Structure 1
Amino acid sequence: MMSLTELDDDTVRSMSIGALFSDFVGKINSLDFHRTDDLLVTASEDDSVRLYDIANAKLLKTTYHKKHGADRICFTHHPSSVICSSRHNLDSTGESLRYLSMYDNRCLRYFKGHKERVVSLCMSPINDSFMSGSLDHSVRIWDLRVNSCQGILRLRGRPTVAYDQQGLVFAVAMEGGAIKLFDSRSYDKGPFDTFFVGGDTAEVCDIKFSNDGKSMLLTTTNNNIYVLDAYGGEKRCGFSLEPSPSTTIEATFTPDGQYVVSGSGDGTLHAWSISMRHEVACWNSNIGVTSCLKWAPRRAMFVAASTVLTFWIPNASKSTADPGNTDPEAGPQSEHISQ
């Protein structure tokens, strides 16, 4: 598989499905890449957690979690351990989060505290801290080595959380399109900055920082996507996609921070150049509405998932395709949100 080099429009436009896994029973709820190893983990409605070798497009291991289910998932720093949130029995067990070893299918630790489903989960890139945002209107900060919560932020609305790539700052989105930035070493002092996505009061369902820390990517529940300046909060560009009432979509930066790729409510996938503010490609994914989508940290590839998991890689023979639409059957073009 091609390693990540400087991406350009032609390479992005040439992306096509290189591998497909369709043995899931139900929707894939979330997925995550390991930061340094060629590994991908998925959590699905069929209560499965699956580990993949992305360099060889190979399923390595499947574990089932019938008691708790598998909802949000992220890697820890160790390549065979993950944090997974629960879908079942939250009322009776209170075990909203588990620290799992994929190596021997053991639960290393339970984390109790959230009263409702966890909808956002992320691991610090620099230490054993991680954060979870729940429909109980709280963000909790944890340490892998300790059962008890290390800090709680109470807020309004559906919380969404993300660390920047240096682990020094984290962002929390809340009701009314407000994005609050905290110093991860002194979050108890409150946010040091607050941004508002002007005119859009839809809840933010996903936040990502670019690798260089200069940009933030927001996806809202009404399928609008915004790229903000991470220092001042100014909107660099925005895109409006087809609605998907029962499914939230996910967008992703490319590792160089120059492109955004996203699903859409009509089942298509889209890629845009941030600097040029134009659409580079539109693909018919043929897998339904993509609810999970992430670009690999060190590879020229991204993965997209609905009830099917697809690996997308460059296809040299397609690099001269029409930039407006790389599939003649693809749906309508996305709408650009004016600045």
Structure 2
Amino acid sequence: MTEREIDITDDLLPKLLPAKQPNDTNQMINSLSFSTKGEHMIMSTDDDSMYLYDMKTGQRSRSVNSKKYGCSHVRFASDALCALHGSTKIDNTIRYLSLTDNKYIRYFQGHDGLVTGLNVSPLDDMFLSVAKDKTIRLWDLKTYNCIGLMNLAATPIATFDPEGLLFAAGLDNNTVKLYDLRSFDKGPFSSFGPLQNDEGLEWTSMKFSPCGKYILICTNGSVLILIDAFSGAVKHALRDHYNNTKVALSASFTPESAYVMVGSSDGFIYFYNVETGQVAYKVQSPGGQTCHITEFSPVHFLAATADKVLTLWCGSDDLKG
């Protein structure tokens, strides 16, 4: 599989079809992510396991157990064969794991509440963590102690921009603030909000579009908020999908930033056109299940959806052998 050479269009979306359903687990999948170059994918499950996949074949290449500490929010570190994950048992330590020899490289301690999000810089060895202790912490993979700490009034969300030069923080479920990494201790250089939140929804995660122009805010309701990353104006409130059980739906941009992909409790996967805010395409998920996680490869015409079943979607025969 080579790097993406074509832009995804409305006509191309129907060619994205279920290609593989690895039967490695029957437990709820709580996170998954692709490596920067799309060569690998990793996921974590509620039975304290992590699975690494080779995306050239769609096959599991190794598995790791974290029975003592639990695992969630697994993310590749700067090296695609190393990963960070949150802990769900004993303590709230973030663990840095070598997937090559299944050994922990470093532990990052400091959070007093459950880690609710991890985001790794695309530029260097820094990463962000957010937690129920109402803090954002900035870390460097090479040192044990956090290099930045923000105490807030409520559980925040946060993400790096695609260039790794700044990060966005979602605060109080209504405000977005932008921080320059070189001087974040001086406060935000831009603030948007309060944004309208009449339904009182909880903001659960956020992502920059790959082009850097937009920020997508996921919620525990049936709405995704797409804002302009420069002006803070709400570009669209995406509302055609359903979230009847109020789970934290994790949505994703396609690689060229033209579409947002999200699961729905009606058993479909929805693709919204970023420019129009309209549904460009929807397709039934295998078994009609709610896929609470949808993640598009950063470079390939390939996606993953997950609940208790992992489904790999592909627009070619690359994964169908």
Give the TM-score, by structure 1 length.
0.88
Question: RMSD of the alignment, in Å?
Answer: 1.6
Question: CA 1:100–1:244 in 2, change beyond 3 Å: closer, same or farther?
Answer: farther
State the match for 2:228 in structure 1: 229
Cα displacement string for residues 171-195 of structure 1 (whole angstroms, at most 9, x for unaligned residues): 1112132111111111101111122
Give the Å deviation of 1:2: 6.8
Task: Find out whether 1:250 has 2:247 as its counterpart.
Answer: no
Task: Find out whether 1:59 has 2:60 as its counterpart.
Answer: yes
Give the 5 Å matches for 1:25-64.
25-64=26-65
* CA distance, structure 1, for counterparts of residue 308 and residue 213 of structure 2: 33
Q: Once superposed, which parts of structure 1, at least 4 consecutive aligned residues long, lie more than 6 Å away?
A: none
State the match for 1:307 in structure 2: 308
State the match for 1:331 in structure 2: none
* CA distance, structure 2, for counterparts of residue 223 and residue 158 of structure 1: 20
* CA distance, structure 2, for counterparts of residue 22 and residue 99 of structure 1: 26
**Is residue 223–residue 243 contact of structure 1 (8 Å, CA) maintained in 2?**
yes
Give the Å deviation of 1:245: 2.8
Task: Describe the SS at the equivalent of 1:13.
Answer: helix
Cα displacement string for residues 17-63 of structure 1 (whole angstroms, at most 9, x for unaligned residues): 01112331321111111102510011111111111011211110001
Question: CA 1:301–1:263 in 2, change beyond 3 Å: closer, same or farther?
Answer: same
Give the 5 Å matches for 1:77-226.
77-90=78-91, 95-196=92-193, 197-200=195-198, 201-226=200-225
Give the counterpart letter for 1:262 in structure 2: V
* CA distance, structure 2, for counterparts of residue 168 and residue 2 of structure 1: 28
Give the Å deviation of 1:156: 2.2
* CA distance, structure 1, for counterparts of residue 102 and residue 201 of structure 2: 39
State the match for 2:273 in structure 1: 273
**Is residue 215–residue 228 contact of structure 1 (8 Å, CA) maintained in 2?**
yes
**Residue ranges of structure 2 left out of the alignment (5+ in a row):** none
Task: Describe the SS at the equivalent of 1:249.
Answer: coil
* CA distance, structure 2, for counterparts of residue 199 and residue 37 of structure 1: 35
* CA distance, structure 2, for counterparts of residue 55 and residue 157 of structure 1: 41
Give the counterpart letter for 1:209 in structure 2: F
Task: Describe the SS at the equivalent of 1:35.
Answer: coil
* CA distance, structure 2, for counterparts of residue 219 and residue 11 of structure 1: 25
**Is residue 129–residue 138 contact of structure 2 (8 Å, CA) maintained in 1?**
yes
Question: Across the two proteins, how many residue pairs are aligned to each other?
Answer: 312
Give the Å deviation of 1:265: 2.5
Give the Å deviation of 1:220: 1.1
Give the counterpart letter for 1:28 in structure 2: I
**Is residue 25–residue 46 contact of structure 1 (8 Å, CA) maintained in 2?**
no
Give the counterpart letter for 2:210 in structure 1: N
Give the Å deviation of 1:242: 1.5
* CA distance, structure 2, for counterparts of residue 244 and residue 61 of structure 1: 35
Cα displacement string for residues 291-329 of structure 1 (whole angstroms, at most 9, x for unaligned residues): 22111011001111111111111269xxxxxxxxxxxxx
* CA distance, structure 2, for counterparts of residue 37 and residue 222 of structure 1: 29
**Is residue 38–residue 300 contact of structure 2 (8 Å, CA) maintained in 1?**
no
* CA distance, structure 1, for counterparts of residue 3 and residue 144 of structure 2: 39
Task: Find out whether 1:283 has 2:289 as its counterpart.
Answer: no
Give the Å deviation of 1:246: 5.5
Cα displacement string for residues 134-167 of structure 1 (whole angstroms, at most 9, x for unaligned residues): 0111111111111111111111222111000001
**Is residue 2–residue 300 contact of structure 1 (8 Å, CA) maintained in 2?**
no
Give the counterpart letter for 2:196 in structure 1: G
**Is residue 221–residue 246 contact of structure 2 (8 Å, CA) maintained in 1?**
no
* CA distance, structure 1, for counterparts of residue 176 and residue 75 of structure 2: 22
Task: Describe the SS at the equivalent of 1:176.
Answer: coil
Give the Å deviation of 1:226: 1.7
**Residue ranges of structure 1 left out of the alignment (5+ in a row):** 317-339
Task: Describe the SS at the equivalent of 2:13.
Answer: helix
Task: Describe the SS at the equivalent of 2:286.
Answer: coil
**Is residue 75–residue 120 contact of structure 2 (8 Å, CA) maintained in 1?**
yes
* CA distance, structure 2, for counterparts of residue 83 and residue 138 of structure 1: 18
